Structure 1
Amino acid sequence: MELSIKQSGVLHRMLSGTAISIGIIIFGILLNPFNFHSNLTLLEKSSVLFKSLIILALCLTFSIGRLAKHRFFSPDELDEKGLRTDSDRAILLQSLLQNTLEQSVLAAFVYGTWTFVMPSAWLSVVPLAALSFALGRVLFFAGYRRGAVGRALGFTMAFYPSVLMLICTVCFLPLSAVTVGC
């Protein structure tokens, strides 16, 4: 099966996003750039998690604010009529908000799980993933109107670290159960 030019462009950006995501996880685990010790307390781990979640909250706040600003300055969309017949701009902003919300919820669960299941020395992955999330959202927003090719890298930079972290956590769970049992 031969891919179209658009499919090839999306695939290229997805592979780039995958490489970035794998790099973030390997970099965070092996080099521990934030120098987290292996014996962090629950409070210290929680602090790192919540500081990282602020980045997701900022992205979500930005998305909500853009739609609210648009509705406020569009009298036809400010009251009930806007609920039935949104403009193309409102639909676009709602799509961006919806995607950001979905990505934020997944990332928050995964970051939380990683924080409390994985070794403390691997905690650098969480803030690195959050930074990738923010950059990914910026790229996704900027490229959204250009279609799938324009938004693919941004999407993958926000989504793939969460997916890979989730897979790593699920794979690590049996190992952590053995360690606790010893």
Structure 2
Amino acid sequence: MVQDGSAQPVDLAVERRRIRIRGALALALCVLLLGFGVHWLPRWLSFPVDLADRLAFAFRANLFILIWLLVAVGIVSTIRRYSAEDNAGSAFSPPSARLAIPAAFLQNTLEQVVITMSAFLALATVEGEAALAYILASLPLFALGRITFLRGYPGGAGARAFGMVTTALPSLGAFTWTAYDIVGQLLASW
């Protein structure tokens, strides 16, 4: 991708290989940090036990996720404020080359924020300290994911894959953990 916003032809085989490699690196990092968090954080920190307190913990953790939405909105609004091309707003013209990537980052960040916040709230209903430790360990991964996604965006899908996987994988893990817990409780009640 070039800076004027036009896409360059892509060798899909090469791009898919880049996505797999960077996705695998992100997976390894997520497994390492989330595993460390689930295993070690409960030894160092005290986590809430009551459901209301656990949900409050998740809501507070979500504030650190919402910061990234504020950052994305801030980037886009700053560009709009100083760009004659973009000042009128998206209803009146497509984004300029300068705004295109930040606007795409904002859209993707909004999607990831909704998914992650929902995942955290669901996981907070799973009993035990490990689930809350997982939420806490996910926070720096979300931040790293957003930074590397934005920085990699001009380089195409392969360049942003690390950031995308690092952002999304903890949420997928939280949903999977919660679903496993729900199924386990249903089977135990039969």
TM-score bracket, shorter-length normalisation: 0.7 to 0.9
Residues 139, 154 of structure 1: 8 Å contact kept = yes
Counterparts of residues 47-86 of structure 1 (less than 5 Å):
47-79=56-88, 83-86=92-95
TM-score by length of 1: 0.86
- Please name the residue that 2:46 is paired with: 36
State the secondary structure of the residue aligned to 1:124: helix
1:127-169 alpha-carbon deviations (Å, 9 max, x no partner): 1112210111011111111112221111111001111221121
Q: Give the structure with the higher percent helix.
A: 1
Residue 159 of structure 2, aligned match among 150, 155, 164: 150
Q: Provide the rounded CA distance (Å) in 1 between the counterparts of 2:146 and 2:37.
A: 21
Residues 64, 97 of structure 1: 8 Å contact kept = yes
Q: Provide the rounded CA distance (Å) in 1 between the counterparts of 2:90 and 2:143.
A: 33
Residue 166 of structure 1, aligned match among 175, 178, 190: 175
Return the offset for 1:45: 1.4
AA aligned opposite 1:41: D
Residue 134 of structure 1, aligned match among 131, 138, 143: 143
Counterparts of residues 98-113 of structure 1 (less than 5 Å):
98-113=107-122
State the secondary structure of the residue aligned to 1:112: helix
- Structure 1 143/173 Cα, relative in aligned 2: closer, same or farther at 3 Å? same
Higher mean alpha-carbon deviation, 80-89 vs 116-125, is at 80-89
Residues 85, 96 of structure 2: 8 Å contact kept = no
AA aligned opposite 2:144: L
Return the offset for 1:80: 5.4
Residues 21, 161 of structure 1: 8 Å contact kept = yes
RMSD: 2.3
- Please name the residue that 2:133 is paired with: 124
Q: Which runs of 5+ in 1 are unaligned?
A: none
- Structure 1 80/158 Cα, relative in aligned 2: closer, same or farther at 3 Å? closer
State the secondary structure of the residue aligned to 2:41: coil
Q: Which runs of 5+ in 2 are unaligned?
A: 1-11
Return the offset for 1:41: 2.0
